[in-house]
């Protein structure tokens, strides 16, 4: 987009800061995991839909083949949101965000297994470091670790990261058009809305008429993270060097931990904080410039980054994001 040119670093940094508030807003809403997932998506649909229509008018309508990838991605995104919101409830907003970001290492490993795309040595070296960090955050090595149920919260966070891998790889495999960040995001968000409603009804924790001020926090979550944050990152990161991308996007989990401490008084134990440091270090190492996957893949549950067109076939795109 024309307004990004010359402002790539500022847009990427603003996007990272924006999505750093995702888990904070989920906690402030005091909504159940399913309710937060539903309305994060639902409230974002009108704006994303309008932007998708404008993209279609400018570049032509997308084919069903292009759109069905977004439908499939929405399934994974719904699972990711539900699991991540449960992780926030169990282990806190800050630690849950750090755990979700481990998918930056999982994506190239899954791509290696399924697509025969060998990851760089930096990713392989970062894996054991990140796993040690996960173990420390889980509280398995100590008594009195922070969180209502840190062990369960860690499992939810890791499972959310795995689901997010499916979301990222489906969009990457489908070859999203770099000119259209809103269209695929609208499709995935719409499908995720429906599935989160169904899942919430089955689980029994969804509230389809949120009360104020919960609704206000969820509207803020949808407009900030799901719309503004993702679109800023989607349009700016393809134009930035990988090393700069790494530094800018690591702001998100680090800032989430700091915000959770200030706003909610979250106080992870010394071992858990050391686990956070290990995971952040592993994420930075995994995104060192190298082969294609090292340069293209994400930082977390709420970052979306189209890759270079040479990455996966002609016109292919890699979607990198956060929930995240």
Q: What is the pLDDT of residue 316?
A: 30
Residue 238 is given by DSSP the state G
Residue spans of the domains in the chain: they are: 8-296
CA angle 123, 127, 129 (to 5 degrees): 120
Buried b (16+ CB within 10 A) or exposed e, 57-84: eeeeebeeebbebbbbbbbbbbbbbbbb
Torsion of CA 285, 109, 15, 279, to 10 degrees: -40
Q: Considering only CA atoms, which of 233, 177, 269, 295 is closest in space to residue 19?
A: 233
Predicted local confidence at residue 256, as pLDDT: 95
In the chain, DSSP finds a helix count (H) and a strand count (E) of: 16, 0
Encoding tokens for residue 276? 């956070």
Instruction: Compute the distance between CA of residue 16 and CA of residue 241 in angstroms, rounded to an integer.
Output: 16
3-class SS at 291?
A: coil
- C-alpha span between 8 and 237 (Å, rounded): 7
Residue 267, SS3 per DSSP:
coil
pLDDT in tens, the chain (324 residues): 555 666 777 888 888 899 899 999 999 999 999 999 999 999 999 999 999 999 889 888 888 877 888 888 899 999 999 999 999 999 999 999 999 888 777 777 777 777 677 777 888 888 899 989 999 999 988 988 999 999 999 999 999 988 988 887 776 654 456 677 788 889 989 999 999 999 999 999 999 988 899 999 999 999 999 999 878 877 776 666 655 665 666 788 999 999 999 999 999 999 999 999 999 998 888 765 544 433 444 434 444 333 333 333 333 333 344 446
Pick left, alpha or beta for residue 92 (phi over 0 → left; psi -120 to 50 → alpha; otherwise beta): left
297 close to 168: Cβ distance less than 8 angstroms: yes
Listed in order, strand segments (DSSP E) in 65-198 are none
DSSP 20: T
Position 70 scores a pLDDT of: 83
Q: What is the pLDDT of residue 292?
A: 41
Q: Which pLDDT value is given to residue 238? A: 62
Residue 267 has a pLDDT of: 94
Measured distance CA(131)–CA(218) in Å, rounded = 32
C-alpha–C-alpha distance, residues 294 and 26, integer Å: 30
Report how far residue 28's alpha carbon sits from residue 21's, in angstroms, rounded to the nearest whole number.
Answer: 10
Q: Residue for token digits 């969180």?
A: 147
């Amino acid at each position: 987009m024309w307004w990004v040119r010359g402002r790539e670093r500022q847009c990427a940094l603003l996007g990272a800061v924006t999505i750093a508030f995702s888990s904070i807003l989920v906690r402030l809403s005091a909504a159940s995991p399913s309710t937060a997932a539903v309305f994060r998506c639902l409230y974002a649909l009108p704006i994303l839909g309008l932007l998708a229509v404008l993209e279609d008018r400018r570049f032509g309508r997308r084919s069903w083949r292009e759109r069905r990838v977004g439908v499939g991605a929405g399934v994974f995104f719904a699972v990711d949101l539900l699991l991540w919101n449960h992780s926030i409830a169990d282990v806190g907003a800050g630690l849950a965000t750090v755990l979700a970001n481990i998918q930056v290492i999982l994506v190239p490993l899954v791509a290696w297994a399924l697509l025969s795309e060998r990851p760089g040595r930096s990713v392989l070296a970062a894996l054991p470091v990140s796993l040690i960090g996960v173990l420390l955050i889980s509280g398995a090595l100590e008594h009195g670790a922070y969180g209502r149920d840190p062990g369960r919260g860690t499992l939810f966070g890791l499972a959310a990261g795995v689901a997010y891998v499916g979301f990222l790889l489906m969009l990457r495999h489908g070859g999203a058009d770099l000119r259209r960040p809103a269209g695929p995001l609208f499709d995935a968000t719409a499908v995720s809305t429906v599935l989160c409603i169904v899942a919430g009804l089955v689980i029994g924790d969804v509230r389809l008429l949120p009360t104020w001020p919960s609704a206000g926090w969820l509207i803020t979550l949808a407009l900030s993270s799901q719309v503004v944050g993702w679109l800023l990152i989607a349009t700016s990161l393809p134009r930035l060097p990988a090393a700069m991308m790494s530094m800018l996007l690591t702001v998100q989990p680090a800032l989430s931990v700091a915000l959770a401490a200030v706003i909610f008084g979250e106080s992870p134990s010394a071992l858990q904080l050391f686990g956070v440091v290990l995971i952040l270090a592993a994420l930075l190492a995994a995104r060192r410039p190298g082969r294609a996957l090292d340069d293209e893949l994400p930082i977390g549950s709420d970052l979306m980054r189209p890759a270079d067109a040479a990455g996966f076939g002609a016109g292919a795109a890699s979607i990198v994001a956060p929930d995240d």
